[in-house]
Each structure stands twice: as C-alpha cells, then as structure tokens.
Structure 1
Amino acid sequence: MKNRPKMLTFLERSKSNEPGSSKSPERMNKTTIDPTRSIGMRLFLYFFLVIVVSVSCVGFLSYDRSRQLIETQVEDAKRLTAVQAADKMELVLQQYEDTSLEIMLLPEIAELSTSYRLYPDDIMRQLEVRRELETRLNTYTFSDSSIASVHLLSLDDVMPSMSIGGPTPSDISEAPWFQAALQNDGKGVWIPSTADGPSGTLTSVAFGYARVIKDQGTFNASYVYLMELRESRLQEVVAGALGEGARMYLLDASGNVVSSDDKAEIGTPFAIPLQGDSAALEETIEGQEMLIAHSQLTGGWRLVGVQPFAPLVAGTQTIWNVTIGMLVAGIVAAIVIGFMVARQIGTPLRRMSGLMKQAEGGDLAVQSPYAKRRDEIGTLATGFNEMLANIRALVEDSHASVRDVMSTAEELGEASRRTATSAKEIAIATEQIAIGASNVAVEAEKVTDVTSDMGSKMATTVQANEHMASAAADIRESSRQGAEYMRELSEKTAETEQLTVSMVSKVEELQKSTASIRDILALLNNITKQTNILSLNATIEAARAGEAGRGFMVVADEIRKLADQSKQSIETVATITDRIRSEIEETVGLMGRAYPLFQEQIASVKQSNEIFLSVNDRMAEFTTQLDAVSDAVLQLETTQRTLSEAMSSVSAVAEESSATTEEVASLSTDQLQVGESLVGLAGRLEDVSKRLRDTLNKFRL
C-alpha cells in the first residue's frame, strides 16, 4: 500500500505523455530555455559581480585609508609647526618684556624722580637728568627698528611725562589697557593692535606692552611705561612657518585678531572659535576646506595658521588613479573569466537538459556525449547514461511483474471475501459482552468519585494546618530575632551616647585651642606691623644716604613686601580660625540638643524588646494547640485513604474487563473493514496492473 502513491503518479505521467495530451514528447523537445536565466549566464554574472565588488571594495578602502593617514600626518605636522612658531613668538615677546624690565630699572628714572621730588627748584639738574634718560631710551628704539615709540606716562602732577618716537598721548587714563596696567601692580599687560597704536598717535598699525613703574623712594606708582611695537614685526617672526599659501594670525585672549597679513582683519573676531592649548583641525571657510593649526601662548594669546587643505593632500590623487585602473582591469578580467566559465559549464548543461526532456517523453535510448570528460560534467553524463540503462532494465522487469500481480490479485479477492464474512459474526458477539462490562465500571466509578472528593477535602485541611504551623513558627522566629535585634540596638545606642559625650568634650578642648591660636595671630600681627615700620625707616635712611644706600633700599623694599604678605597671611588665618571657632560653637549646641534624643531612643528600644518577648510566648502556645489539631486530621485522612484504595481496585477490575471487551470488538470491526478493503484493493490492483502493462508497452527500449 505504501507504493500506491508512486504508482499512481507514474501512471498519471504516462497518461499525460499520450498523443492527445498537451505535454506530448514532441512538444517537450521543442521547449526552449531563456538565455538570461540559464546557468551559464548566472555563473558569468556571479563571477563578474564578485570580482568587480572585491576589487572596488579593496581599492576604495585603500584609497580612503591612505587619504585618512595622509590627513592625520599633515595635521600632526602642522600642529607641531604651529607649536614651534608659537615658541618662537614667545621668545620675541619675552625679549620685549625683558627690555621693559631693563628700562624700568634704569637709574636715570630713579634720578629723575629724586630731582623732581627733592629738588623741585633745580631746573638745570632736572633738564640734565631728562636728557640722559631720553638718550638711554633712544638707544633702545635705535637698536630695534620694531619699537615704534616708548612712553613714560606720569601718574601725578610732580613727575613729567616723556615720549620717544612720537608725541606724548593725552586723555588715555580711561583706556582699558591703562586701567589693566594699574590693576596688575607692576606686572606687564600686552595690548592688542590698533590702526594708530595704543597711544593713538601713530600712523601705522601697532600693538603695545604696558606696566607700572614704582618710585624707588616711596614705592608708589609714578609712571605707566608704554612700549608701542610695529605689528609687521609679528608677521616677520612667523612668515613661512606653515609653508607656501598659509596665513598666520595672532589672537588675543578674547579671540580678536592682533596680527594678520590683511590689515583690515585686525581688531575683528576670528571666524572660528578655538579650544585647547594646541590642535590642528579641518574647517570649511567660504566653501573651501582649510587646515587650521593653533597654539596658545603664555599670556593667553594664540598663534593661528590657516592653509588650504587641498594642496596638502594632492598626493592622494595618484592613489585614486591607481584605484580606478585596478577597477577597470578587474572588470576586464571578470568578463573574460565569466565568459570562459559559462562556455565550459553552461553549454554542456543545456545539452544535458535537452536529453533529459527526450527521456521524459519516453525515449530511453538517448546517450550523453560528455561521458568521456574528466570533470564533474563527465561524471554527470556517465551517471545519466547509467540511469537510463537501469530504467530500461526496470521496464523489462516490470513487464514480468505485471503478469504475476494480475494473477495474485484474483486469488487475493476471493480470500478477502471469505474473511469479511467471519469478521461480521465475531463483531456481534463482542458487542454484547462489552455492554455488561461497561455497566459495572460506571457504578464503580461513582463510588470512587465520592471517596476521591472526600480525600481532596481532607488533604486541603491538612495543608491548611501545615501552612498555619509554618506561619506560626516563622512569626515566633521573627519575634525572637526582633528581640535580639532590639537588644543589640540598645547596646549600640548606649555606645553612641558615650561617644557623643566624649565628642562634646573634645570639641570644647578644640574651642579653647582656637582661642589660643587667635592670641598667637594677634602677636604675629603686631610683629608684622613693627617690621613694616622698620622697613619704612630703613627706606628713608637709604634715601638720605643717596647712591650709597641704593642697595639697602632694595633690601628694605623686599622686607616691606614680606611684611605685607605676612600681614595678609595672618589675616587670612585669623578669618579661617574665627570661622572654625564659630562652627565649633554650633557643633557644641547641636550635640547638646541631640543628647536628650538619645535618652528617649534608649527608652523606646527597651519597650520594643519587651513587646517582642511577649509575642514570642503567645506564638509558642498557639503552635502547641495547632499540632494537636493536625494529628487528629491526619488520622481521619488515613481512614479515608484505605476506603478510596478499595473502591479504586473494584473500579479498575471493571474498567479492565470493559476495555478488554471493547478491544476485542474493535479488532473484530477492524478485521471486517480490512476484509472489505482487501476486496476493493484486489479489484483496483487488477485494474492498475492492466494500465501498467499498457503504459510499459509505450516505452522504446
């Protein structure tokens, strides 16, 4: 019976090959294959796509990686160049700062202050001193052409203002750089470039450097020194630092342009905000990719170089050309290889497909001409020829088998009819036995259901008692643990109380220590005041001594500065000490309020401990009573289980008898059905044998 579907399929295919069928052998042999869907075209496309995609991916990835590597190296090189140019700029600016320090310490300036303050009526001496100072200042301006002018701007009505290289400016006391120089108290201030210089008296773009000069006699600020420098000097320092086509900028701390080869940009904000000490980054400016390398100077100024990015990575165009060449070569190789593969594989497969169509139409005498090849195509052709030889042998054997099957089918039909008659008689007898066994089983099942219901209710009662006992035990254990935890909490609270008392004592001692520190600071403050008075007296004596006391005057000035610094430090320490003392007093007050709370906490912990102990005792009594109830329920459950087992045995015997009878009846019915099926199958087998014989006669061997 398992071979029946295959046999029917074979016969249906045989019927479809008849002359009247739409799929006749002649029509199948004329079936054509779409060239665009053939295996040869697919292999050609696969090879073409694999080679082209592989070459494209490798080439483009190599180009992209090479470009990124070159860009990274260029950015690092330009960043280092910017750092080196910034160091060079630092040296130049430092030279100007050193020059200003030398001018600030010129003895002619001290002599000028002495002549105007101590000898206000000696006009000749004052003119001589001014002439000597102007000569010294001219020496600096003549030795460095980048110094446009030098100004000594007086801060009072006694000392005169002086200017070298330009007129003395007026009304500049409100200028931001002038106020910044006064606030820095002797430290230098770099002034950004302007069209007429910081003084407003020049005819060219200049930046400047300003600092306060103090009178060596009174140590008060007497002059503001202003050195104006030509902005072109900055461009000379960094010219060509980043290479051809680069533009160099010097920015102040606010990001405004101090120096540029385009004078119109000076004083304007730089187009791109910059962060960090030094870096190199790509930015698009006016539609063009630019490389920006910058480095920060010590005073907050920043040196920036801007250069077009395209010339720096021009070498990557060669890599791009090589990549395109490799891609073209890969496409040509893919076409050649794909065509060869399609010719060696696709053509034989198409011819083999045609031979299979002929064999499908019934011509089993065809042979493949590719059996002599030593590759997979040859193996396929050899297998095809052997398959057709086996099919021919199978058809010849099938002719003999059909004759045997037809005679066997006639004998099987007669035996099946006799078997069906016997099966009907057996089925009637077994049905009557099954009815009686079923009635006994039904009654036994009713009794079993009653006992099972009773057992389930007893089991529920036992489980409820067990849950109650477990819950009572858990509550008792929790009460015991709660009592233990409350005892430990009481001990910890007592220890906390002792630590609080000890802490209050330590804080009071610390409060006394801060008072002692305050007394010591007052003593140090008095010593500082006396030192300051002594340094002032030493300065006055040094001024009276004239040239011989100049060195001692410097020492006295340093002592006075140290005294001022000591005074500031003592005041700072005193402020911190007062703050600590105030916080200690607040801490003492807080601890005093916290102590009664600790006392109340200890009392609450003791009451909670007593409650937990009482709950533990009550739960012990409840557990004892619950155990007694559980024992009684268990005895009742044992009695019910015995009754249930007895009824289950009766029911099992009845069900077994009924099942056996039903099984016999079922077997009888199945046997009857099998007999009837055998009769029908015998008839169909005879018909199939005849059709198979007619079909085999159509094959050409």
Structure 2
Amino acid sequence: MFKKIQTKIMLSVSVLVAIALISASLFSYFQTKQQIAENVQEQAAGLANDVKSSTELYLDSYGNTVDRYSQDSRLIDYLKILKKDEAKGFNEFWPIVDQDFKHFLELNKNVAVLYVGAETKQFKTSPVLELPEGFDPTGRPWYQAAVQSPEKIMWTEPYEDASSGEYVVTVAKPVIDPETNQVLGVVGLDLSLAGLSGMINQTKVSYNGYPVLLDPKGMALVHPNQQGKDLSKESFVKAMYKNEKGNISYEYKGADRELYYTTISDTGWKLGFVYETNELLKDAQQLFNMILIFASIAVVIALVVTYFLAKSISNPIRNLQKQVQLVAEGDLTVSVEAKSKDEVGTLTHHFNAMVENMRGLITSVSQSVVTVNESTSNLSAISEETIAASEEVSRAVAEIASGATTQAEDADETNRRTLDLSSQIEKVNEQAEMMASLSILAEKANKNGLSQMHILREKTGESNEVLQNIEEVISGLAVKVEEIEQVIQSITEISEQTNLLALNASIEAARAGESGRGFAVVADEVRKLAEQSSVAADKVRKTITGIGAESVRAVKEMKQTKRIAEDQNSTVTDTERAFDEIADTMNQMVNSIQQITSEVEVINNYKDEVVASIQSIAAVAEQSAAASEEVSASSEEQVRALATVSQSAEELNDASTALTEMIKHFKI
C-alpha cells in the first residue's frame, strides 16, 4: 500500500501514539464516569437517609401528638361522660379539650383540623366545621381503620383537601378506657403536606438533581412539575415498589435519568432523588474533550518528530538502493561509502563485500564453462546408443508382463465376485433365521392380542352397566335439585315476611318511646337475622342452580358417553375378527419361512468349497503377474535412467551456453 519506508515509519509511529492517547483518554473518561456514579450513589444514599430521618421525625412529632391526646385524661373523661349525659359532655368537658386543641393549632399551622369521634357517634372538631346532618364518624374509613389496630397510630393515604386544595393526611388513634379497656372513640388530625413538601424541596441536591416523594399508590406528593399527578403507570415507579431501597436507571421524557430511593417506614411513602445522566456526565465529558485536544496536539508533534527521524533513516537507504540497481544491471565495479556505524552502515559494508565476491565468482565461472561444454558433448553421444538397445529389451518384457497381468486381474475379479456371493449367502441365511424367529414372536404377539381383545370385550360390557347406573343416579339428582329449589324459595319468602314484621315492630317500638327501646333492639336483631337468612338462602339458591345446570350437563355427557361406549363395543368386535384372520395368515407365513431357511442352509454349505478353489487360482495368477511386472519395471527404469542422463547432458550443454552469454553482460 505504502512504498516509501519514510511514510511507513511516520504512519506507524503516529498510529501507535494515537492509539495510546485515545486509550488513555477513554480509560480516564470511564474511570471518571465510574467515580462520579459512585460518588452520586453515595451522596444520594446519604441524602436519602438524612431526608428520610427528617421526614420520619416530622411525621412522628404529629403521630406522637395524636398518641398523647389518645391518653389524655381530659379527653377520656369527655368521651366517658358522653355515654351518660351528652349535654354535660358538650357544655362542660368539650370546652376544656377544645381549648387545648386550639392552642396546638396556633403553634402548628400545618395542622388543618383536630377532631374527636365518639363510639356513641358524636363528632367534634376544632375549629368547628360544617357537617351534614346525621354525620356518623364511626362509619368513616379513618375511624374504622384506627379501631382495627388500637395499639398503632393510623396514617391514611394522602388526599386533596376540598377547601384548601392542598394535600393532607389523616393521623388517628383510638381512645381506650383504662378501666374497662374498651374503645371510647378516636382522636385524629388532618396534617397538611405543604410544610413537608417545603422542607423536602429545600434540600440541596448536587448535579441539578431534585427530590420526589410518592404515596403507596404512586401519586406524586413532592415533584418539581408532576406534583399531585398519578405516576403509578410509569415503569420506574413500578420498579420502586419492588424493593425498600435501591437505584434505577430509566428514560423519562426523552432524557436518561438515575433515581436513588428509600422507603419511609410508617407510611410506606417512597422518597427519592432524581439526576439527569447528562448532568452527571458533564464533568467527565469536559475532561474527555480536553484530553482529546491534548491528544491531537501530541499526534501532530509526533508526526513532525517522526518525519525528521524517518528522513535520517531513509536517505542512506535510498543511496544504497541506487547502487544495488546498478549491480542488478550487471555493473560489478560500484562501491558505496559507509557514513554511519548503525544497521545501515553495516548493510553498506556487507554490500561492498558481496559485490567483490561476485566479481571473483563470475571470473571462476567463465573458466569452468569451457570445460563443461566439452564433457557434455561426449556424454550425450554415449547415452543415445545405450538407450536404443535398452528399448528393444523393454518392449519384449512388457508384452510378457501384460499377458500375466491380464490373467491375474481376471482371477482376482472372479475371486472378489465369489467372496461377495459368499457374503450375500451368509446374509440371506442370517435374515432367514431372523425371519423365522420374528414370525414365532409375531404369532405369540397375535395370540396375546386376541386374548386381550376377549378381556376388552368383557370390560366394555361392565363399563356399559356402570354408565347405565350413573345415568340413573344423575337423573335422580336433577329431581332432588328441583325439590331443594322449591324449599329455598319458601325460606326466602319467610325471610322477607319476617323482615317486614321486624320493621313494623321497630316502628311500633319507636312510637312507644323509652319503654319500647328493648323491644326495638330485639326487633332489629330479628330483622338482621331475617336479612342474613335471605342472603344465605339466595347463596344456596345460586349454588343449587349451578348444581342443577351441571346435573343437566352431566346427563347430556352421560348419554354421549353411552353412545361412544356402544361404538367402542362394535369396534372391539371388528378388531377381534381381524385378529383371527391375522392368526391364520401368520401360521401360513411361519411354514413358508421354515422351508426357505432349510434351503438356504444347503446353499451355504456348498459355497465354502467354491470359494476355496477360486482363491487358489487367483493366488497363482497374482504370483506370475508380479514376477513379469518386476522384470518389465526394471527394463523401463533402465531406459528412463539412460534417457534422463541424455536429457541432463543436453540441458547441461544448453545451460553452459546460456551461462556464457550471461557472463558477457557483467562488467568486471
């Protein structure tokens, strides 16, 4: 590709320098990239733990407040008195509790409202809120969730407050009577997440990252531009909920991002910090660009230095090249001056010595050529006479050898065919014996198959009887199912009448006032039992209906099975008849195979004698042919040797002539 050594040296050195610098640049880039990733991961993990701790402390402070109120004796007294005297509780005890609530609200602006729901269904808030008439706190999710786990502080999922539009979370805990250990009610507060969002957003995140906070359902509580939106369908959000903490690489809105997250234990919220990959790699990319600039400058410098170095090496070589060209043209009077002691100088010295030796060699060769020409002329004449005599002898011997060879080939071919025939006879004998064995086995298998068909016929009859019995049982089951449905219908009608009577009794008890309260409770219980009976009867009816449908389906399937069994019985009869016909055919085949086997054994005994005789004839013919071929080969070898000598003499004569002409071209 490149013919000049100067160009090769420049390109080789430049490529090596470029490869070394690019490799170093890439190594530095990836090392820096890895170090940045490790630093970011370490910083994000530490930052996540710090913010997590701050968030948990923030939430725990309000959780502890609710826990403290749940054990406050004033609140306990208020809820206990409500059971006895509602007016007294509202007028005397609630103002004391409400005053404490108001003081707490003044100090904690992030709390929207404090409230208490009593087991007796009274509900009080601070500040006072407008509530719908007949509001029952015991039916609210926060109340029921708190009562189910009385020993824990209950946190609801975040929701948007209708009045302020801010996201809030409810914190609640049951109030337990220390004397009876019974639930008196639930105290709770609505905590605005605006303060928590502000605290998290104030966190300084390196590399232009930002914090995110998600609730257990994937709604963004804290996010720079997606706050309040449901992100649960995003792949990276789904991945966050698979582990307590970790990091995720993902693409969002056309940009590669890194997310480091952890979990807030009490609420199950996911706290994370997001970094754009381009921001993380900005420093590494700048370093890589600087290294590439320095590498380019270094390559240019290397090219300049290499140019002068290659020139100092190539100039002496070009001078030596010119002198070698003169020698190639036949001028052996040239000589090159060695100006250096390096490899080029040594090469120049050896070149001068080579030219001197060539001058001496050409002189000696010129003298030897004359002598060789005289000797080759005499040798060529003698060789021609000897070749003529040897050719006559070789022709006679070749005719004898040809006849012997033909005879040996014919005998050998006969021997091969006889051996092939012997091998085929043995194979036929083996196959005949194998056929006899297989026919016996087939006869046994046919008998076994016929026996199994008899058994199958018996089992098919038994199966038909069982199918008939099953069909009768399923038909009876369908009748019973219809009778049960009628009974269930009667139960349902009785339950509806009972429910109506209980409702009428409740109305009459309400009219009776206090004296009819006990009867109203009983009537309510009767109504509930009637409703439960109606629900249970409806479930039983659905189950019985399903059973009835399955019974009808089973009857259809049994009829289909019965038809299949009848077809199967017919098929068994046909198969049994076929097995009888196969048995007759097998008996005839066994007799025929036994006759073939006996005839093949007789042929096998005669073939050994024929093979032995033919092998003896072939051996004698091969010996005769071999002897004739050896004599013929010796004669031909002698003729070829003499021809070679004659040809060599002629070639030597031609070479001497050519050498003489070549020597004339050299200048000594």
TM-score bracket, normalised by the shorter chain, equals 0.5 to 0.7
- The one of 219, 223, 229 equivalent to 1:256 is 219
Structure 1 residue 646 corresponds to structure 2 residue 612: no
Structure 1 stretch displaced more, 289-298 or 634-643: 634-643
Looking at structure 2, the residues matched to 475 and 75 of structure 1 have their Cα atoms a distance apart, in angstroms, of 81
Q: Is contact 1:249–1:259 with CA below 8 Å preserved after alignment?
A: yes
- The one of 410, 416, 429 equivalent to 2:383 is 416
Deviations 1:280-338 (A, max 9, x none): 44556666665533222222212233456666666546743652364145314522442
Q: Is contact 1:294–1:304 with CA below 8 Å preserved after alignment?
A: yes
Q: If the length of structure 1 is used for normalisation, what is the TM-score?
A: 0.61
Looking at structure 1, the residues matched to 417 and 172 of structure 2 have their Cα atoms a distance apart, in angstroms, of 108
**Match of 1:320, SS?**
helix
Deviations 1:354-411 (A, max 9, x none): 11111111111112223x6333222322232222222212211121122112212332
> 1:209 corresponds to which residue?
170
Alignment of 1:194-273 (within 5 A): 194=160, 197=161, 200-201=162-163, 203=164, 205-211=166-172, 213=174, 216=177, 225-238=187-200, 240-243=202-205, 247-259=210-222, 265-266=227-228, 269=231, 273=237
Q: CA RMSD of the aligned region, Å? A: 4.5
Q: Is contact 2:428–2:600 with CA below 8 Å preserved after alignment?
A: no
Looking at structure 2, the residues matched to 258 and 169 of structure 1 have their Cα atoms a distance apart, in angstroms, of 28
Structure 1 residue 87 corresponds to structure 2 residue 61: no
Q: Is contact 2:146–2:186 with CA below 8 Å preserved after alignment?
A: no
Looking at structure 1, the residues matched to 436 and 337 of structure 2 have their Cα atoms a distance apart, in angstroms, of 94
Which amino acid in the other structure matches residue 214 of structure 2? L
Q: Is contact 1:181–1:210 with CA below 8 Å preserved after alignment?
A: no
- 1:346 shift after superposition: 1.6
> 2:477 corresponds to which residue?
none
**Match of 2:114, SS?**
strand
- The one of 70, 73, 88 equivalent to 1:107 is 73
Deviations 1:567-587 (A, max 9, x none): xxxxxxxxxxxxxxxxxxxxx
> 2:320 corresponds to which residue?
352
Structure 1 residue 696 corresponds to structure 2 residue 658: no
Structure 1 residue 368 corresponds to structure 2 residue 329: no
> 2:570 corresponds to which residue?
none
- The one of 268, 275, 291 equivalent to 1:300 is 268
Structure 1 residue 658 corresponds to structure 2 residue 628: yes
> 1:130 corresponds to which residue?
94
Looking at structure 2, the residues matched to 391 and 171 of structure 1 have their Cα atoms a distance apart, in angstroms, of 129
- 1:422 shift after superposition: 2.6
Looking at structure 1, the residues matched to 278 and 97 of structure 2 have their Cα atoms a distance apart, in angstroms, of 55
Deviations 1:113-162 (A, max 9, x none): 44333235xx45640112122123234324434323212356766x2x32
Structure 1 residue 458 corresponds to structure 2 residue 422: yes
Which amino acid in the other structure matches residue 205 of structure 1? E
- 1:98 shift after superposition: 2.4
> 2:589 corresponds to which residue?
none
Which amino acid in the other structure matches residue 60 of structure 1? L
Structure 1 residue 62 corresponds to structure 2 residue 58: no
Looking at structure 2, the residues matched to 124 and 410 of structure 1 have their Cα atoms a distance apart, in angstroms, of 156
Aligned pair count? 508
Looking at structure 2, the residues matched to 650 and 261 of structure 1 have their Cα atoms a distance apart, in angstroms, of 109
Looking at structure 1, the residues matched to 435 and 361 of structure 2 have their Cα atoms a distance apart, in angstroms, of 82
Which amino acid in the other structure matches residue 209 of structure 1? T
Q: Is contact 1:190–1:208 with CA below 8 Å preserved after alignment?
A: yes
- 1:446 shift after superposition: 4.3
Deviations 1:247-296 (A, max 9, x none): 4333211211224577x833554876251322344556666665533222
Q: If the length of structure 2 is used for normalisation, what is the TM-score?
A: 0.64
Deviations 1:474-506 (A, max 9, x none): 9999xxxxxxxxxxxxxxxxxxxxxxxxxxxxx
**Match of 1:412, SS?**
helix
Looking at structure 2, the residues matched to 641 and 466 of structure 1 have their Cα atoms a distance apart, in angstroms, of 19
Looking at structure 1, the residues matched to 632 and 93 of structure 2 have their Cα atoms a distance apart, in angstroms, of 144
- 1:412 shift after superposition: 2.5
- Segments of structure 2 that go 5 or more residues without pairing to the other structure are 442-594
- 1:45 shift after superposition: 0.7
- 1:74 shift after superposition: 0.8
Q: Is contact 1:459–1:637 with CA below 8 Å preserved after alignment?
A: no
Looking at structure 2, the residues matched to 458 and 338 of structure 1 have their Cα atoms a distance apart, in angstroms, of 84
- Segments of structure 1 that go 5 or more residues without pairing to the other structure are 1-33, 478-624
Q: Is contact 1:210–1:224 with CA below 8 Å preserved after alignment?
A: no
Deviations 1:10-35 (A, max 9, x none): xxxxxxxxxxxxxxxxxxxxxxxx9x
Q: Is contact 2:70–2:186 with CA below 8 Å preserved after alignment?
A: no
- 1:88 shift after superposition: 2.3
Looking at structure 1, the residues matched to 388 and 436 of structure 2 have their Cα atoms a distance apart, in angstroms, of 75
Looking at structure 2, the residues matched to 657 and 327 of structure 1 have their Cα atoms a distance apart, in angstroms, of 84
Alignment of 1:361-400 (within 5 A): 361-370=329-338, 373-400=340-367
Looking at structure 2, the residues matched to 71 and 183 of structure 1 have their Cα atoms a distance apart, in angstroms, of 43
**Match of 2:330, SS?**
coil
In structure 2, the CA distance between the partners of 1:317 and 1:682, relative to structure 1 (3 Å rule), is closer
Q: Is contact 1:75–1:291 with CA below 8 Å preserved after alignment?
A: no
- The one of 141, 147, 154 equivalent to 1:179 is 141
Looking at structure 2, the residues matched to 443 and 310 of structure 1 have their Cα atoms a distance apart, in angstroms, of 93
Q: Is contact 2:172–2:189 with CA below 8 Å preserved after alignment?
A: no
Q: Which has the higher contact order (CA 8 A, sep 6+)?
A: 1
- 1:691 shift after superposition: 4.3
Which amino acid in the other structure matches residue 354 of structure 1? K
- 1:339 shift after superposition: 2.1
> 1:53 corresponds to which residue?
19
**Match of 1:185, SS?**
helix
> 1:71 corresponds to which residue?
37
Deviations 1:445-478 (A, max 9, x none): 545644554444334444665688899999999x
Structure 1 residue 152 corresponds to structure 2 residue 130: no
Looking at structure 2, the residues matched to 444 and 325 of structure 1 have their Cα atoms a distance apart, in angstroms, of 88
Which amino acid in the other structure matches residue 117 of structure 1? K
In structure 2, the CA distance between the partners of 1:86 and 1:626, relative to structure 1 (3 Å rule), is farther
Deviations 1:646-679 (A, max 9, x none): 313431243134324533553465467558x54x
Looking at structure 2, the residues matched to 450 and 156 of structure 1 have their Cα atoms a distance apart, in angstroms, of 122
Looking at structure 2, the residues matched to 277 and 110 of structure 1 have their Cα atoms a distance apart, in angstroms, of 38
Q: Is contact 2:415–2:615 with CA below 8 Å preserved after alignment?
A: no
Q: Is contact 1:78–1:242 with CA below 8 Å preserved after alignment?
A: no
Looking at structure 2, the residues matched to 387 and 627 of structure 1 have their Cα atoms a distance apart, in angstroms, of 89
Looking at structure 1, the residues matched to 663 and 62 of structure 2 have their Cα atoms a distance apart, in angstroms, of 117
Q: Is contact 2:397–2:628 with CA below 8 Å preserved after alignment?
A: no
In structure 2, the CA distance between the partners of 1:211 and 1:342, relative to structure 1 (3 Å rule), is same
Structure 1 residue 140 corresponds to structure 2 residue 104: yes
**Match of 1:277, SS?**
coil
Q: Is contact 1:56–1:327 with CA below 8 Å preserved after alignment?
A: yes
Which amino acid in the other structure matches residue 322 of structure 2? G
Looking at structure 2, the residues matched to 287 and 461 of structure 1 have their Cα atoms a distance apart, in angstroms, of 83
Structure 1 residue 41 corresponds to structure 2 residue 2: no
Q: Is contact 1:280–1:292 with CA below 8 Å preserved after alignment?
A: yes
> 2:246 corresponds to which residue?
279
> 1:403 corresponds to which residue?
370
- 1:347 shift after superposition: 1.7
Deviations 1:42-92 (A, max 9, x none): 111100111111111112221222122212221232123113311321222
Which amino acid in the other structure matches residue 152 of structure 1? V
Looking at structure 2, the residues matched to 76 and 265 of structure 1 have their Cα atoms a distance apart, in angstroms, of 27
